[in-house]
Amino acid sequence: MPPKKDPFSSPSQKVISLYSLLMFTGREYSLGQLSREMHCSKQTVIRMIEQISRSLGGDVVSRLGGGEKYYRMASPKVSPKVGLCPEEIQQLELCRGMVLHLLPEGVREQVRHTIAKTTALLPDMNGRERAFASVVDARIKGRIDYNPHQEHIASLIQAIQDKIVCEVTYHSPSNPKAKTYAFAPMKIISYHEALYVAGWRVEDEGEPIPRHSIKLAVHRLKKVIRQKRGFDIEMDPGQRAELFGFMKLDELKVKVKFDKETASYIKERQWSDDQSIREFKNGNLVLEFNAQSMPEVVSWILSFGAHAKVMEPKVLKDQLRSEVEALGALYL
């Protein structure tokens, strides 16, 4: 029997978690999304929803759309009474501290004031000091200053929530001039200490028909103007895949041998959803995974120096050989 996806959560805890997700977010979720969120099968989600409706009195509304079933919790007539403990507020502070460096100053203040308001939900206000005790500090090198981009971030958040097409002007490093086009933003993503917005390039006029999915670096946006056109487009399924690499360029199967000096570092991390690791008695290991960006794999392998050797594919080995030869030529 395969291990449970979440062996540390009891059935009753999962039901309460699902109830809280539907009740307190007010969002509509597809059956697939709930399966991923709850780390269980779709059949289990359906059974839990039936239990919520039968035992917890939750009014779960469902609908069919695009071949998938969607669920949401109807707004209750009376707001539920909830409370927080200092440890729960401290967890919010923990999250804030870990992403603080990515936020413009205005957003930082807004988040700080919002979290401060949660103390009103403490059963004992004397626990405020414990709730806001600082327990985390992010150490970042080469950080990006997002203060000049605060207005762009605010516009993107509003457009994502309202599903509104934006006219964006974007300056890619590979192009001498900035380009302007219509863009349907879907989600803001944090990756390698930078913010990106994922979405669809859509038709510039009329019905916002998607052309292709793209990711844009927020700090390279020169202009973001919300249009009056709404959109009803799902996130690109390929953007959800947890393969190695951020930009979806060219998929390849990678096989790399690491020596015992770096083996622990490799084993401690998840590089791709489908990765496999084979260990040897001498301490070396071989990592196999799928990647979706050749340049990112090349950069990553080079960061290990002589501690990593690519075994497959040949095209990657050839690319690394060229990079190493060019690097060596700089120091002749």
Res. 80 pLDDT band, cuts 50 70 90 = low
Q: Which residues of 289-312 are buried (b: 16+ CB within 10 A; e: fewer)?
A: bbbbbbebbbebbeebeebbbbee
Q: For residues 40 and 308, which has the higher predicted lDDT (pLDDT)?
A: 308
Q: Which residue has the higher pLDDT, 115 or 64?
A: 64
In the predicted model, what is the mean pLDDT of residues 26-46? 89
Residue 1 is predicted with a pLDDT of 40
Higher pLDDT, 80 or 125: 125
Structural class in CATH, domain 11-73: mainly alpha
pLDDT tens track for 197-234: 999 999 999 999 999 999 999 999 999 999 999 999 88
Name the residue with tokens 């600082």: 134
| Reported confidence tier of residue 37, pLDDT bands at 50, 70, 90 | confident
E-strand spans in the chain?
29-30, 60-65, 68-73, 164-170, 179-191, 194-202, 210-217, 221-230, 252-258, 276-279, 285-291, 308-312
Averaged pLDDT for residues 129-134: 77
- For the ranges 138-142, 183-187, 273-277, the one whose mean pLDDT is highest: 183-187
Q: Which amino acid is at 208?
A: P
Binned at pLDDT 50, 70 and 90, residue 38 comes out as: confident
In the chain, DSSP finds a helix count (H) and a strand count (E) of 11, 12
CATH 3.30.70 assigned to 252-329: yes
CATH class held by domain 147-240: mainly beta
Least confident piece of the model among 92-101, 147-156, 168-177: 92-101
Residue 327 has pLDDT above 80, yes or no: yes
Residue 100 is predicted with a pLDDT of 80
Nearest to 47 by CA among 79, 23, 14: 14
Q: Does the pLDDT at position 188 exceed 80?
A: yes
pLDDT of residue 122: 81
pTM across the whole model: 0.72
Buried b (16+ CB within 10 A) or exposed e, 99-138: ebebbbeebbeebeeebeeeeeebeeeebeeebbeeeeee
Mean pLDDT check: name the lowest of 35-39, 280-284, 304-308: 35-39
Q: What percent of the chain has pLDDT over 70?
A: 93
| Residues 285, 286, 288, 293, Cα dihedral to 10° | 90
Confidence bin at 65 (pLDDT 50/70/90) = confident
Q: What is the chain's Cα-based Rg? A: 24
Among left, alpha and beta (phi > 0; psi -120 to 50; other), residue 262 is: alpha
Tokens representing residue 221 in the block: 């946006």
Inter-CA distances, 296 with 102, 197, 248, Å = 22, 19, 10
- Asked whether residue 110 carries a pLDDT value surpassing 90, the answer given is no
Mean pLDDT of 41-60: 85
CB crowding 15-25: b at 16 or more within 10 Å, else e: bebbbebbbee
Per DSSP (E only), the strands in 231-300 are 252-258, 276-279, 285-291
> Residue 2 has what pLDDT?
44
| Per-residue model confidence as pLDDT tens digits over 225-281 | 999 999 998 876 655 557 788 888 888 999 999 999 999 999 999 898 889 999 999
Domain boundaries, the chain: 11-73, 86-131, 147-240, 252-329
The answer on pLDDT for 11 being more than 80 is no
Q: Is pLDDT larger for residue 193 or for residue 200?
A: 200
| Cβ atoms of 255 and 311 closer than 8 Å | yes
More confident residue, 42 or 249: 42
Average pLDDT over residues 131-145: 81
**Partner residues linked to 288 by β-bridges:** 255, 276
Distance, first Cα to last Cα, the chain: 59
DSSP-based three-state secondary structure for 153: helix
